[in-house]
């Protein structure tokens, strides 16, 4: 039996080079760096990771018109539903070429069915300013549009109480799971995603997706669009949210700068 001794040490974490990670990320996602039809595939299956309150419903409506087959994942059972839609999409792929997209509130962990079967993941998503997303999500959960709004309001009667339990880096964690560094996150995104857009510049995001993936022209649709209210948030709550969303904010600002660069 192997015994631990003072001479034995754990292998330290190897972090990616920051410059390489950002350079590769930029080459993958900056609209000016991606040639037309780079990701065009007449028989592809894209996974749209829908982060709540990032204009995903509007984005999804655009996807429905751009793809041959749109498959929605049920929000109450994302992992099971994703597995079922994946099997159907793969079966369809064996029958005839179709451009398919599977969309829903699933996360990196839910994509196990793809990773466990060595299926190449090509995912897409849209991110939003963390504070704006947080406020929008709270307001939606308190509204009559949410089926469990009474239960939610009883549990979180104030914005501060909701902020205090906000998970760390909600958006980035949904996309790639927990990571030891921001550079690792960039590397995982570069390896498994082919498009990342921003809510604040949806027209440019849709134009880039259409151009880079060889899709028919995509137009913006307004659906479940909330009013910008973050300016009304007290400074102490604002600070609390941003302290729990540092990497989300960093990623969002990076992507936002890419789309501002093409205006």
Phi, psi values for residue 104, rounded to 5°: 170, 180
Residue with tokens 């007290």: 234
Q: Measured between alpha carbons, how far is 172 from 165 in angstroms, rounded to an integer?
A: 17
Predicted local distance difference test score (pLDDT) of residue 148: 86
Per-residue pLDDT at 115: 87
pLDDT digits (tens, 9 = 90+) for 174-205: 999 999 999 999 999 999 999 999 999 999 99
Looking at the domain assignment, is residue 73 inside a domain?
yes
Residue 55 inside a domain? The answer is yes
User: What CATH number corresponds to the domain at position 224?
Assistant: 3.40.50.300
pLDDT of amino acid 261? 83
Q: Which domain holds residue 161?
A: 38-260
On whether residue 220 sits in a domain, the answer given is yes
Per-residue confidence at 257, pLDDT binned at 50, 70, 90?
very high
In this prediction, residue 5 has a pLDDT band, given cuts at 50, 70 and 90, of very low
For residue 2, pLDDT beyond 70: no
Between residues 73 and 146, which one has the greater pLDDT?
Answer: 73
Contact between residue 191 and residue 197 where contact means Cβ atoms under 8 Å apart: no
Q: Return the pLDDT at 169.
A: 98
Q: What are phi and psi of 215, to 5 degrees?
A: -100, 160
Per-residue pLDDT band at 145 (split at 50, 70, 90): confident
* Model confidence at 224: pLDDT above 60: no
Mean of the pLDDT values across residues 16-41? 93
Task: Give the count of domains, the chain.
Answer: 1
Q: Are strands 69-72 and 193-198 parallel, antiparallel or unpaired?
A: unpaired
Q: CA 47 from chain center: how many Å?
A: 10
The residue ranking higher by pLDDT, 89 or 18, is: 89
| 1 in a structural domain | no
Residue 6 counted as domain residue: no
What is the average pLDDT value for the chain, to the nearest integer?
A: 90
Q: Is residue 107 included in any domain, yes or no?
A: yes
Q: Strands across the sheet with 123-127, in order?
A: 69-72, 100-104, 45-49, 123-127, 193-198
Residue 146 confidence (pLDDT)? 83
Question: pLDDT: is 62 or 148 the higher one?
Answer: 62
pTM higher than 0.75, yes or no?
yes
Q: What is the C-alpha separation between 133 and 151, in angstroms, rounded?
A: 21
Domain assignment of residue 27, yes or no: no
208 is a domain residue: yes
CA torsion, ordered 72, 75, 78, 83, to nearest 10 deg: -30
Band (258; pLDDT cuts 50, 70, 90): very high
């Amino acid at each position: 039996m192997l015994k631990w001794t003072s001479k034995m040490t754990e292998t330290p974490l190897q972090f990616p080079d920051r410059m390489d990670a950002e350079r590769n990320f930029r080459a993958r996602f900056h609209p000016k760096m991606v040639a037309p039809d780079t990701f065009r595939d007449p028989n592809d299956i894209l996974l749209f990771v829908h982060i709540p309150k990032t204009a995903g419903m509007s984005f999804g409506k655009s996807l429905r018109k751009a793809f041959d087959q749109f498959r929605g994942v049920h929000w109450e059972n994302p992992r099971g539903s994703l597995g079922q839609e994946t099997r159907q999409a793969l079966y369809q792929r064996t029958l005839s070429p179709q451009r398919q997209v599977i969309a829903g509130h699933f996360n990196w962990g839910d994509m196990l069915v793809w990773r466990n079967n060595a299926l190449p993941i090509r995912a897409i998503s849209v991110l939003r300013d963390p504070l704006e997303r947080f406020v929008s999500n709270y307001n939606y959960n308190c509204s009559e549009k949410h089926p469990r709004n009474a239960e939610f309001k009883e549990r979180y009667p104030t914005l501060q109480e909701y902020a205090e339990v906000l998970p760390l880096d909600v958006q980035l964690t949904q996309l790639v799971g927990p990571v030891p560094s921001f550079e690792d996150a960039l590397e995982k995104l570069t390896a498994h995603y082919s498009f990342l857009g921003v809510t604040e510049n949806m027209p440019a995001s849709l134009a880039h997706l259409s151009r880079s993936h060889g899709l028919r022209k995509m137009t913006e649709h307004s659906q479940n669009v909330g009013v910008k209210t973050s300016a009304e948030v007290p400074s102490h709550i604002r600070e609390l949210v941003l302290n729990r969303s540092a990497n989300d904010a960093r990623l969002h600002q990076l992507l936002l700068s890419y789309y501002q660069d093409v205006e």
